[in-house]
Amino acid sequence: MKKITLEAVARQAGVGVATVDRVINERGGVSPATVRRVLQAAQQAGLKRLLPDEHRQPWQIELLLSSSDAFFFSQLSQDFSQLAGQLGYGHVTLHRTLIAEAEPEKLAAQILRAAAERDGIIVFAHEHPAIFAALEQCRLQQVPVITLVTDLPGAARLCHVGINQRQAGRTAGLLMGKMLNTPGDIIIISGRFDYLAHRQRVEGFSEVIASKFPHLHVHKVLGALDDRQQIGRQLEQQLYHRPAIHGIYNTGLGNQEIADVLARHRLLKTSLFITHELYPTTRRLLAEDAVVLTLDQNTREHARRSLTLMLNRLEHQQIPDDYEDGKVEFMLYTQENSQ
């Protein structure tokens, strides 16, 4: 192999010639992510001497999720783990890191670490300058990133996997509006506003109520930061001053806390309660007729699409559509089909 070819591979991979030499000659001491980049660059340059498949390490994928105690994230993490171990994903080693939603700088730092060590990143992330900067560094290092559940429009990422959050909010608003025939007030309880998904749900719901159901009014949007105690306290305060609430729409966690407050104010089963995700608490609340409807995001489909799109990119250099290829359809559950 001529030196100029080594240099060409090094330029293409964004590394030094010595690193290319170590990879090509299997001397070790190079991270898996860099090995992948060098091998891809060598292949594009026409080098035939690549490591045989049986000697190549599995793709190293970093999964970054919220450390929230919400059932959604524990189920999502479990689905990823199960799929990564199944036939068809045998060339994947999944590394899971959980980070608190109140720590975007910590998440950004972990993204940067993953960019140096992993072949790809799948992330649930804030709209925060440090996050956007970290994703730009991933792009420069040619490490593909898939955003999960809540999108980061304009960020340097491969694509987004998730439901249409605004459409979910509009669906909740449409169904609540059709079920409430008498004039009245609605309270929205939102998750963290620094996540686009919650803002889109709130906006979609509010748009439909305002445009299609003039007899209804969104009295208040409570931003309780997905803190269960805050959710209970804020709703308690609102109901103390305005007891005649006809509907409750919750975009995040805290369904049990909301049900407890409604029960204390004798509004449980009389105030229309719509929420998100199907899990043991919502199943029970649906069975008790306390919740009338829940919109579920289908965690397993999130995991399947994310892993498939990432592998297609790493192994076949496929570029997915920003939204279409990663679109997940949400599901509606009522008392009749949730048990």
pLDDT tens for residues 38-74? 877 887 777 666 554 444 568 899 999 999 999 999 9
pLDDT, residue 54, reads 42
Could you tell me if residue 336 is inside a domain? no
Domain span at 125: 59-162+299-328
Could you tell me if residue 337 is inside a domain? no
Per-residue pLDDT band for 122 (boundaries 50, 70, 90) equals very high
Same domain, 213 and 120: no
pLDDT, residue 53, reads 47
Same domain, 194 and 114: no
pLDDT, residue 1, reads 44
Provide, rounded to the nearest whole percent, the portion of the chain with pLDDT above 90: 74
Q: Can you list the alpha helix ranges (DSSP code H) found in the chain?
A: 3-13, 17-24, 32-45, 71-84, 104-117, 129-140, 165-179, 196-212, 228-241, 255-264, 280-287, 299-316
Same domain, 27 and 90: no
The mean per-residue pLDDT over the stretch 308-333 comes to 93
Same domain, 202 and 250: yes
- pLDDT score of 37 more than 90: no
160 token code pair: 């987004």
The mean per-residue pLDDT over the stretch 283-307 comes to 97
Paired strand residues for 210: none
Specify the number of domains making up the chain: 3
Query: CA–CA separation, 53 vs 56, rounded Å?
Result: 5
pLDDT 10s digits, 132-173: 999 999 999 999 999 999 999 999 999 999 999 999 999 999
Same domain, 115 and 172: no
Torsional sign, CA 261, 263, 268, 270:
negative
pLDDT, residue 89, reads 61
Instruction: Read off the CATH number of the domain in which 44 is found.
Output: 1.10.260
Q: What is the DSSP letter of 327?
A: B
